[in-house]
């Protein structure tokens, strides 16, 4: 949905509305222990769009991606890392993210939407029976990876790609930096992503706001973990679960009378100066219901502004009272620390200039420069574009890699504490390769400038000596049989790796491609050439490609293969290889002047009919004089005798075949030499 620009009673502007979508299913769990939360992004976009958009990207604070798609991935993973440092769960939380066109106007637009991918009830350790819980929360409580029963992800998120276009919101665009400081009126993507992740974790009700009906299973409506703590102030009954459907509809449009009664939010309202009644904060319940916004947000009257209000106001990476609401619905202990600290990260590389295919080690040092402990420190490290991740070794905590992003959860850092991290990657692209790291924590940071570090490595494509050889499975095979070519590529260099390898195999004339396989190789066919690509080949190592083809031409069949790479190869003598397979001649294959036009003879009754002689002459003067034509003739004489027998004994088939042959006979009459035809008599 969309709204126009709104003005709050404290004169702060509310500009853009969030929307969210719900997808629900019932599934069952098994128990496990708790741990720090890991939130991983699943790229759900197709090639060339959204998270895979190859448009060039201009670096911003914390995000030095070379493409727009990778910049989006970096930003949404950074938001996931921030959220993961606040909550705890033993089960990895997977978020399916895609950028779609959601439209919008010049002054308002939907920004994004997210919700739990599934819900569950009555799982192991469920706090309240017969109550729906979002799947990520159900998994946290039960300790079981329930989502694998009905799907792999716990949260679905959709982002409006039109915000990066030219028609929606005028000049305002997504800002993909990590510093919560977008230029001008641009929209901070990390703020929006955090907002949507919180919805997916359970900050939303599953009640149908148009009908007041609870989410049902088997015809029975059940409470959900969010709506249990809603109150229609002054109404009877006041609690949302006990109301009739009609009463829930009324509560959802009761303006400032819909309240949150959870104990943890209520205990932390001291700083709230408006938008509360006693110890109850007001929820969003406009007198005209707004699908996707009503009920499942804090009220717009709340002051100071909260991240979980329905409209985007300013960049804000502090999730505010939402952390206490998550505790109220069942997330338990969350990490909260509003003491300002000063984190710093620096890095060095193992070699400013290295060769393609070589490993680079980035040595990171994270320091807490403040006098206070930093809570749940996390780094988001974006390895160079096109590089291959090898490992990450932290001095504390743990690291994992996804989508070319290394996340390290380092735990708490005491005052003046330091943690070292070594990240190893293989650099394969010649030129400047940039490794970027950003450090953050639950605490606000008083000096954001030193939270980012980037290191440039210069990669040079040094000379290598690539060699290629091949063997065939047999030296001689029967016509129409498969031949297997085993091709070995060797990097003979003792000092340098090779990058961007391209192997090209030219199949024998008339051969039919069957398959091409090899570890790490990506192969395709554009007849007659099979092309295979390999990102890199380490020094003094080999790699094998196996190609299978059907050989359809009698005699010598030659397969030729070549190898090259991004590196210069001064030794060219071993860059190609050829192997010959002898294909045994097929029996019953016509020679020039012979008869053998089985189908035509059967159709016209005699090998001396003019029509048959013209076809035979066309065979002799044209088809038998080139390899493709000879292959066609061989196929014809392989399969036509059996067909000719059926045609000869069926008048209807003879008539039909004569009609089919008519255009070929006409072409033969126009091309065949009359002297040759007379000679056949």
pLDDT at 27: 23
Instruction: Give the pLDDT score at 34.
Output: 35
Residue 276 has pLDDT above 70, yes or no: yes
What is the DSSP code string of 91-113? SPEEEEEEEE-----SS----EE
The packing angle between helices 627-648 and 651-671, to 10°, is 150
> β-strand 529-537 against 512-517: which pairing, if any?
unpaired
Segment holding 671, helix H or strand E: helix 651-671
Is residue 572 over pLDDT 80?
A: yes
State residue 627's pLDDT score: 65
Give the number of C-alpha atoms closer than 13 A to the C-alpha of residue 427, restricted to the C-beta side. 31
Please give the structure tokens belonging to residue 386.
Answer: 């096109």
312 bridge partner residues? 16
pLDDT of amino acid 554: 86
pLDDT of residue 351: 80
Residue 79 pLDDT > 80: yes
Say yes or no to pLDDT of 223 above 90: yes
Torsion of the alpha carbons at 72, 77, 80 and 86, rounded to the nearest 10: -130
Residue of 478 and 245 predicted with greater confidence: 245
Quickly list DSSP for 261-300. --HHHHTT-TT--BSEETTEEEB---SS--TTTSSSSB-T
**Helix 135-142 vs helix 189-201: angle between axes, to the nearest 10 degrees?**
60
pLDDT at 15: 31
Residues 251-258, mean pLDDT to the nearest whole number: 97
CB contact set of 48 (below 8 Å; sequence gap of 6+): 54
Q: State the burial class of residue 35 (Cβ atoms within 10 Å of its Cβ: 0-12, 13-18, 19+).
A: middle
- Name the more confident of 237 and 476: 237
Instruction: State the pLDDT at residue 28.
Output: 24
How far is residue 315's CA from residue 181's CA, in Å, rounded to a whole number? 7
CA nearest 18: which of 35, 42, 37, 1?
1
Burial label, 253 (beta-carbon count in 10 A; 0-12, 13-18, 19+): middle
**Per-residue pLDDT reduced to its tens digit, 128-159:** 999 999 999 999 999 999 876 556 899 999 99
φ, ψ at 322 (rounded to 5°): -60, -30
The torsion angles phi and psi of 547, rounded to 5 degrees, stand at -120, 135
Identify the pLDDT of residue 663. 85
Query: Is 546 in contact with 485 (CB distance < 8 Å)?
Result: yes
487/561 Cα distance (integer angstroms): 8
37 C-beta neighbours (distance < 10 Å), count: 26
- Separation between Cα atoms, residue 178 and residue 558, nearest integer Å: 58
User: Strand order in 529-537's β-sheet?
Assistant: 476-478, 576-584, 555-564, 498-506, 529-537, 522-526
What Cα–Cα distance (Å) separates residue 166 from each residue in 103, 161, 173, 267?
11, 11, 9, 45
List the structure tokens of 283: 């929820």
**Edge to edge, what strands does the sheet with 466-472 contain?**
466-472, 482-491, 541-550, 512-517
Peptide bond preceding 507 in cis form (omega within 30 of 0): no
Other beta carbons within 10 Å of 321: 22
Query: What is the structure's pLDDT at 625?
Result: 67
Q: Which of 201, 211, 210 is nearest to 136 (CA)?
A: 201
pTM over the 0.75 mark: no
Helical H segments across 546-626, by residue range: 598-604, 610-621
DSSP secondary structure, 484-513, as one string: EEEEEEEE--SS--EEEEEEEEEPPTT-EE
Residues sharing a CB contact under 8 Å with residue 679, sequence separation 6 or more, in sequence order: none
Question: If we measure between CA atoms, which residue out of 31, 41, 29, 33 comes closest to residue 84?
Answer: 41
pLDDT tens-digit series, residues 34-58: 348 999 999 999 999 999 999 999 9
Average pLDDT, the chain: 88
What tokens appear for 214 in the block?
């609870």
Instruction: Choose between 473 and 174: higher pLDDT.
Output: 174
What percentage of the chain reaches a pLDDT higher than 70?
90
């Amino acid at each position: 949905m969309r709204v126009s620009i709104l003005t709050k009673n404290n004169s702060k502007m509310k500009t853009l509305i969030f929307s969210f979508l719900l997808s629900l299913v019932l599934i069952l769990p098994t128990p496990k222990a708790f741990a720090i939360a890991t939130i991983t992004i699943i790229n759900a976009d197709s090639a060339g769009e959204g998270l895979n958009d190859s448009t060039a990207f201009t670096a911003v604070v914390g995000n030095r991606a070379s493409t727009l798609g990778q910049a989006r991935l970096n930003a949404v993973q950074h938001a996931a890392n921030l959220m993961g440092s606040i909550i705890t769960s033993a089960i990895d939380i997977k978020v399916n993210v895609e950028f779609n066109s959601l439209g919008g106007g010049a002054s308002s637009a939907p920004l994004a939407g997210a919700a739990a991918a599934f819900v569950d009830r009555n799982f192991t350790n469920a706090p309240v029976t017969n109550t729906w819980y979002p799947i990520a929360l159900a998994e946290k409580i039960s300790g079981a990876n329930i989502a694998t029963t009905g799907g792999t992800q716990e949260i679905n998120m959709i982002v409006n790609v039109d915000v990066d276009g030219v028609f929606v919101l005028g000049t305002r665009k997504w800002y993909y930096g990590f510093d919560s400081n977008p230029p001008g009126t641009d929209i901070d993507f990390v703020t929006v992503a955090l907002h949507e992740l919180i919805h997916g974790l359970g900050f939303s009700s599953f009640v149908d706001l148009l009908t007041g009906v609870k989410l049902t299973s088997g015809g029975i409506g059940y409470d959900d973990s969010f709506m249990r703590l809603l109150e229609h102030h002054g109404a009877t009954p006041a609690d949302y679960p006990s109301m009739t459907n009609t009463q829930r509809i009324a509560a959802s449009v009761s303006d400032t009378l819909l309240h949150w009664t959870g104990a943890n939010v209520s205990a932390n309202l001291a700083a709230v100066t408006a938008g509360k009644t006693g110890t109850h904060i007001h929820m969003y319940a406009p007198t005209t219901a707004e699908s996707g916004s009503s009920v499942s947000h804090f009220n717009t009257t709340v002051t100071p502004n909260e991240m979980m209000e329905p409209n985007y106001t300013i960049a804000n990476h502090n999730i505010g009272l939402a952390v206490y609401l998550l505790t109220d619905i069942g997330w338990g202990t969350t990490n909260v620390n509003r003491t300002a600290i000063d984190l710093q990260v620096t890095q060095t590389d193992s070699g400013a200039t290295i060769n393609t295919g070589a490993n680079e080690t980035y040595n990171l040092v994270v320091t807490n420069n403040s006098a206070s402990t930093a809570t749940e420190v996390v780094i988001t490290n974006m390895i160079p574009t096109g590089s291959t991740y090898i490992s990450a070794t932290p001095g504390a905590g743990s690291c994992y890699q996804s989508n070319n992003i290394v996340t390290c959860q380092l735990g708490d850092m005491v005052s003046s504490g330091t943690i070292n991290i070594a990240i190893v990657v293989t650099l394969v692209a010649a030129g400047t390769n940039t490794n970027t790291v950003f450090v953050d924590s639950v605490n606000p940071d008083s000096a954001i400038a030193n939270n980012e570090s980037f290191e440039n490595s210069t990669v040079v494509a040094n000379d290598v000596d690539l060699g290629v050889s091949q063997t065939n499975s047999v030296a001689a095979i029967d016509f129409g049989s498969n031949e297997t070519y085993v091709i070995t590529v060797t990097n003979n260099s003792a000092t340098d790796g090779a990058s961007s390898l391209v192997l090209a195999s030219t199949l024998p004339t008339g051969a039919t491609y069957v398959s091409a396989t090899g570890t790490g190789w990506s192969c395709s066919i554009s007849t007659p050439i099979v092309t295979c690509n390999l990102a890199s080949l380490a020094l003094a190592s080999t790699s094998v490609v196996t190609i299978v083809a059907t050989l359809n031409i009698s005699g010598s069949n030659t397969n030729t293969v070549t190898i090259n790479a991004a590196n210069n190869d001064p030794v060219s003598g071993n860059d190609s290889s050829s192997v010959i397979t002898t294909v045994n001649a097929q029996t019953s294959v016509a020679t020039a002047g012979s008869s053998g036009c089985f189908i035509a003879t059967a159709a016209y009754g005699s090998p001396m009919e003019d029509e048959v002689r013209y076809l035979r002459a066309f065979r002799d003067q044209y088809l038998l004089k080139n390899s493709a034509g000879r292959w066609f003739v061989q196929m014809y004489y392989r399969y036509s005798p059996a067909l000719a027998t059926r045609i000869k004994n069926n008048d209807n088939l003879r008539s039909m075949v004569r009609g089919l042959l008519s255009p070929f006979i006409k072409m033969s009459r126009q091309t065949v030499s009359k002297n040759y035809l007379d000679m056949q008599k």
